[in-house]
Amino acid sequence: MEEIIRAVNLVKSFKDGDNLVEVLKNINLSVNTGEFVSIMGASGCGKSTLLYLLGGLDTLDQGEILIHNKDINRMKDKEKSRMRRTQIGFVFQFYNLVQNLSVEENILVPLIMEGKKPASYKKELENILEIVGLSDKRKVIPSRLSGGQQQRVAIARSVIASPDVILADEPTGNLDSKSGNEIMELFRTINHEKKITILQVTHSKEAADYGNRIIRLKDGIIESDNELVRVVS
């Protein structure tokens, strides 16, 4: 199994008035290619902070984060943002779609930011629209879509550039349970068929159980980190 993400002795603090609050105290974890990991824990325990650090969206105080064995804090800014754009897909609770762009234009945004020609990604676009079940909505703007559909656009956008890993922060947090399960089924498909590694933060045990492993954070440390045992009948 190839390791894709490693965090070594991560420490992260935030200023709260005059106080410095240590949100992540000493985090060590390793994620292998192909895993589907769920991160759980009480509100405010540092889940989003950890996810953003792993994706290079925030800077850490101490420790190391390695993506494919490369320390992201030793990367120059340009190399780091390129790594973020090409190897990592992000999915957020509130979709973060561009409201005046159509579904397909939203999906193509990461490619355009990379300077790629969308026309050469026609096949990928068809394929991902098919997978997320939005082929018939491709010309529609986000405000005409349900929350679940908007999240599916965000997932398609995170997948279009074929990242190695998707980091998803409460991707079903804003959805009813039926739409939430559809999103989880979609992640499962992407994980299996496209072999993309997934790390999701969730408050839902049901959503967490779609993964192969659950990491629980508490008071800035990893309280438990367990493989889920599947009973095959």
Ligand X SMILES: Nc1ncnc2c1ncn2[C@@H]1O[C@H](COP(=O)(O)OP(=O)(O)OP(=O)(O)O)[C@@H](O)[C@H]1O
Contact residues: ligand X, CB under 6 A: 14, 23, 41, 43-49
State which residue, 48 or 87, has the beta carbon closest to Mg ion.
48
Least gap, CB of 65 to ligand X (angstroms): 15
Check the CA dihedral 180-96-186-29 and report its sign: negative
Among 10, 24, 35, 48, binds Mg ion (CB under 5 A): 48
Enter the tokens of residue 185. Answer: 């089924």
DSSP strands (E only) in 53-147: 62-67, 70-71, 88-91
Q: Is residue 202 at the binding interface for Mg ion, with CB under 5 A as the rule?
A: no
Stretch that binds Mg ion, among 12-20, 42-50, 54-62, 218-226 (CB under 5 A): 42-50
Q: How many Å apart are CA 3 and CA 126, to the nearest integer?
A: 31
- Closer residue to Mg ion in complex, CB, 133/173: 173
Nearest-CB residue for Mg ion = 48
Q: What is the smallest separation between the CB atom of 41 and ligand X, expressed in angstroms? A: 6
| Of residues 106 and 202, the one with the C-beta less far from ligand X | 202
> 66 pairs with which residues across the strands?
6, 71
Closest CA to 29 of 53, 58, 57, 61: 53
Q: Write down the least CB distance from residue 45 to ligand X, Å.
A: 4
Which of residues 94 and 195 has its CB atom nearest to ligand X in the complex?
94
The smaller minimum CB distance to ligand X, of residues 52 and 121, is found at 52
Amino acid at 196: I
> What does 44 interact with, of Mg ion, ligand X, none (CB < 5 to 8 A by kind)?
ligand X
What is the spatial distance between Cα 50 and Cα 201, in angstroms, rounded to a whole number?
10
Q: Can you tell me the distance from the alpha carbon of 140 to that of 39, in angstroms, rounded to the nearest whole number?
A: 33
Q: List, in sequence order, every beta strand (DSSP E) within 33-164.
A: 36-40, 62-67, 70-71, 88-91
Tell me the closest approach of the beta carbon of residue 161 to ligand X, in angstroms.
Answer: 25
Segment interacting with Mg ion (CB under 5 A) among 6-14, 45-53, 79-87, 116-124: 45-53
Nearest to 24 by CA among 55, 70, 59: 59
Residue 143, contacted partner among ligand X, Mg ion, none, CB below 5-8 A by kind: none
Task: Give the nearest distance from C-beta 35 to ligand X in angstroms.
Answer: 20
Task: Select 48 or 172, whichever has its Cβ closest to Mg ion.
Answer: 48
CB atoms within 10 A of CB 18: 5
CB of 198 to ligand X, least distance (A): 17
Q: How far apart are CA 113 and CA 62, in angstroms?
A: 31
What residue ranges bind Mg ion (CB under 5 A)?
Answer: 48
